Amino acid sequence: MCGRYSIGPEIETLVEKLRVALPPDFAPHYNAAPSQHLPVVSNQQSDRVTLYQWGMIPFWAKSSSGQRLINARSETVHEKSTFKRAFRSQRCLVPAGGYYEWKKTPQGKEPYRIILADKLPFVFAGIWQQPGELSATGTPEYSIITTQAPSSIKDIHDRMPVILDEAAWDFWLSDTEDGEGLQDVLRPLDDNKLRAYPVSKRVNNVQNDDAELITPLSNG
């Protein structure tokens, strides 16, 4: 799964590659969390970065409390009633520099930051929807698609967000109806593509949101 990630100044590199405009009010998020308004590039506004709310409130929810779906599984996103419409026609790219997972140890859960081995920023595959009646902000909502984690990080968590290959960015934002092709780009990364390192437990508190959170611990 993916429940926390970071996107800081490295978004400038992604903006250049995507040829999109960055909103003037963009602020770095070193501890991006569900319900926050975070940067995405959607197929509805593919020429700019916009702020969507992380977590889709499903159509069957009776209230917004505790019902936001922050992740969708790549294996079933095309068939689940909650997600299949968005998968067909409402897709987005979610810029990131790294994401966090918590490893279970005898001493408790230890937070790790996971990045690309080459340390470059990347994008998650996302889907989005227009806000429903339960939305308090009227902001479009998104979920991040997840897949199986490669063996190199499975001891931390067996799932990970789908990191899209750069060659698939335009395809993901296109109006294609090639469902099989879309499924095909949601594949796991190779073992040698990721690097994980331990970070401060300060990341456990979503109120902490500073660059220190992405710094490796001294033993990392």
Which sequence positions are flagged as catalytic?
A: 2, 101
Secondary structure of 161-197 as H, E, C letters: ECECCHHHHHHHHCCCCCHHHHHHCCCCCCHHHEEEE
Q: Which residue type does 136 have? A: A
From first CA to last CA, the distance across the chain in angstroms is 23
Three-state secondary-structure class, residue 128: strand
Contact 196, 156 (CB under 8 A): yes
Give the DSSP per-residue string, 100-156.
EEEEEETTEEEEEEEEETT---EEEEEEEE---TT-SS---EEEEEEEEPPGGGTTT
